[in-house]
Structure 1
Amino acid sequence: MKTPFLSIIVASFITLSAFSQISINNYKYVIVPEKFDFLKTQDEFQLNSLTKFLFNKYGFEAVMEGSEYPADLALNRCLALDADVLNESNLFKTKLKIELKDCNDKLVHETGLGESREKEYKKAYNFALREAFKKLEPLNYNYVPNESITSITTATQSPAKKEVTQEIAELKKEIQNLKKEKQAEVTAVEKPKVETPEVKVQEPKPVKQPEVKETSVIEGVSNVLYAQEIENGFQLVDSSPKVVYRIKKTNLNDVFLVEGSSAIIYKKGNDWVIEYYTGATLEQEALNIKF
């Protein structure tokens, strides 16, 4: 009876030892957000771009959130650490520090504070961030693969994430199937009718094409919608302010589900587009969204 119990203890100890040995060097990438919480706009004062640049300078391979990820990172999100910059400034000094968390939101490393007495925000944030990054230098980061991280795949995603991913995939598949059906109807032509007794072949009648309306992206949209963060997504309000849409985040970059409908909102080039069906007609409209 003691042998199975002893085996379980040994196996648990080995597993815990493997995870305890994971260090910052076992993560191949660092993902930098497009906006830090203490800033008002995306990449304000170019602080997010500077963060990505400095990570690369100190030997890390940094990627910007929302950009096209390398193939191995797309398959295994746990290969990357999520970077964040925290503002702990006071009346006299600008103080910033850097946090690095794993894919389970567990803190892996935190730097000391970088400080600046500059009065202008851009100069103060720039200098304080560079000072905080200097505290990463003693780590001498050098990527060393760790099997407990590299063996993770998208199959280990949480059920909620997998469900959202599957829902998006099915929605896109349904849209593609509907497009193919409409294209097939458009290309179908009536067979020539044959009259008797003259056996005269009539000219094919023109086929009326079913309406397949796909509104192109409208340039110069003036109706601006402002994104206000809510739980699991955003609410888009106009200048009234009136809530026009509530959208939920998905596991795909720049793809949102519209609450209360089967529509999706996604980024197309530099534009935001809402796509939905009106009857059998696929509608596509441009939105001017400010995050």
Structure 2
Amino acid sequence: MKTKFFTIILSCFIATSVFAQANINNYKYVIVPDKFDFLKEKDQYQLNSLAKFLFNKQGFVAIMEGSDYPNDLVLNRCLALESDVTKDSGMFKTKLKIELKDCNGKVVYTSPLGESREKEYKAAYNLALRDAFKHIEAINYKYKPNENITSISTTSLPQVKNEVSEELAELRQEIQNLKKEKEAEVAVVKKPAVETPKVVVPQPKPVKNKPVKETTVIEGASNVLYAQEIENGFQLVDSSPKVIYRIKHTNLKDVFLVDGSSAIVYKKGDDWVIEYYSGATLKQEALNVKF
């Protein structure tokens, strides 16, 4: 009876491993986050770097989140699995497991728990993660392209870029129109009021000083700004905390309108930029925003 039960359990394990292997083998890349949720800092205890190293060791092409992605991955994010490491509670053991999701957020693989009895955090996390990776090693990963993944159409990408460019152009045109409207309001001639006689007071001869070059500075642009979610967008505050900007969502990803100003804030590469007109000159300033 025990032998039969053991055989059933072993068969289920083998079937699960084969299924996981068939799924994982269809993905070319693994993206490793720069911070795990159960830790306080990016790459704390070098655990994220260790995960990237261990994925590469098992034959995957591991990429750290936020780094430059290969061209085929930029065009088709479904070529990559997104990895995560989670911690389970335990009084005397550190327990970690590895989770892999596809581009739609569906879990493709979850490893059994890796464990360590070490008391020092760095050693405990290191050993528990290596223990969890033993189960991935058993899968014997080898990339095998899957037509359902590799054939995802990317021909619409240029069209999306064109649509984004057109909408940005429309936003800039709206900013110019708002600027012209404000200038027109200022230019309205008001009926002169009755002037009262002016008393001429002799003024002391002005002292000539060397001209001082004026520098335009946007408040908060050089400091770290923290994004706090509000209705229809975010407010960006400094460390005091003082609200520097209020930005509102648009139909474009990572593009916001600045509340009360004819300016926009958008993401350019890995940086955030505020764009506005100063006179007839279009200016850009980098923002250090933490979302």
Q: TM (normalized to structure 2)?
A: 0.62
Residues 1:276 and 1:83: Cα distance change in structure 2 (over 3 Å): farther
Distance in 1 (alpha carbons) for counterparts of 2:231 and 2:75: 26
The match for 1:258 among 238, 256, 259 is 256
Question: Does the 8 Å contact 1:225/1:288 carry over to 2?
Answer: yes
Q: Is the 8 A contact 1:235 1:245 kept in 2?
A: yes
CA contact (8 A) 1:100 1:108 kept: yes
Q: Does the 8 A contact of 2:233 with 2:249 survive in 1?
A: yes
Alignment of 1:80-119 (within 5 A): 80-119=80-119
Matches within 5 A, 1:113-128: 113-128=113-128
Query: Contact 1:215–1:283 (CA<8 Å) still a contact in 2?
Result: no
Partner Cα distance (1:155, 1:42) in 2: 36
Q: Is the 8 A contact 1:247 1:256 kept in 2?
A: no
Q: Which amino acid aligns with 1:100?
A: L
**In the TM superposition, what is the alpha-carbon distance from 1:62 to its structure 2 partner?**
0.9
Per the TM alignment, residue 267 of structure 1 is displaced from its structure 2 partner at its CA by 5.8
Counterpart in the other structure of 1:280: 280
The equivalent of 2:187 in structure 1 is none
Contact 1:94 1:116 (8 Å CA) reproduced: yes
In structure 2, do the counterparts of structure 1 residues 98 and 167 end up closer, same or farther at CA, with 3 Å as the change threshold? Answer: farther
1:3 is matched with: none
Question: Given residue 76 of structure 1, which amino acid in structure 2 is its aligned partner?
Answer: N
2:238 matched residue in structure 1: 238
**Separation of aligned partners in 2, 1:278 and 1:99:** 50
Instruction: Tell me how far apart the structure 2 counterparts of residues 230 and 43 of structure 1 sit (CA, whole Å).
Output: 30
What are structure 1's unaligned runs of at least 5 residues?
A: 1-19, 178-213
CA contact (8 A) 1:264 1:276 kept: no
Q: CA offsets per residue over residues 208-262 of structure 1, 9 Å max, x none?
A: xxxxxx9899xx94x3323568999976432233444567899x9xx83235465
User: Do 1:248 and 1:256's aligned partners in 2 also have CA atoms closer than 8 Å?
Assistant: no
The aligned runs of 1:147-158 (5 Å cut-off) are 147-154=147-154
Share of identical aligned residues, percent? Answer: 65
2 CA distance for matches of 1:233 and 1:130?
Answer: 41
Paired residue secondary structure (1:141): coil
CA distance in 2, matches of 1:173, 1:120: 55
In 2: Cα distance, 1:24 partner to 1:233 partner: 38
1:215 touches 1:285 (CA, 8 Å); kept in 2?
Answer: no
Q: Distance in 2 between matches of 1:124 and 1:70?
A: 34
The match for 1:44 is 44
After superposition, the Cα gap between the structure-2 partners of 1:133 and 1:230, relative to the gap in structure 1 and judged at 3 Å, is farther
Aligned to 1:211: none
Q: Is the 8 A contact 2:248 2:258 kept in 1?
A: no
Q: Which amino acid aligns with 2:105?
A: D
Residues 144 and 245 of structure 1, relative CA distance in 2, 3 Å threshold: farther
Alignment of 1:92-241 (within 5 A): 92-154=92-154, 168-170=164-166, 221=222, 223-227=223-227, 236-241=236-241
Asked if 1 retains the 8 angstrom alpha-carbon contact of 2:245 and 2:258, the reply is no
Q: CA deviation at 1:268?
A: 6.7
Q: Distance in 2 between matches of 1:274 and 1:145?
A: 42
Aligned residues: 226
Equivalents in 2 of 1:21, 1:53: separation in Å? 20
Write the letter of the residue equivalent to 1:241. P
Alignment partner, residue 57 of structure 1: 57
CA, structure 1 residues 85+228, in 2 after alignment: closer, same or farther (shift >3 Å)? farther
SS at match of 2:254: strand
Sort the Cα spacing of 1:134 and 1:22 in 2 relative to 1 into closer, same or farther, 3 A: closer
Q: Secondary structure at the match of 1:266?
A: strand
For structure 2, the 5+ residue unaligned runs are 1-19, 174-214
Highest CA radius of gyration, 1 or 2? Answer: 2
Cα distance, 1:268–1:24 mapped onto 2, change above 3 Å: closer
Query: What displacement does 1:92 show?
Result: 2.6
- Work out the CA distance in 1 between the residues paired with 2:98 and 2:50: 13
Amino acid at match of 1:124: A
CA-based RMSD: 4.2
Aligned partner of residue 50 in structure 1, secondary structure: helix
**Counterpart Cα distance in 2 of 1:248 and 1:59:** 44
Distance in 1 separating the partners of 2:268 and 2:137: 37
How much has 1:132 moved relative to structure 2? 1.2
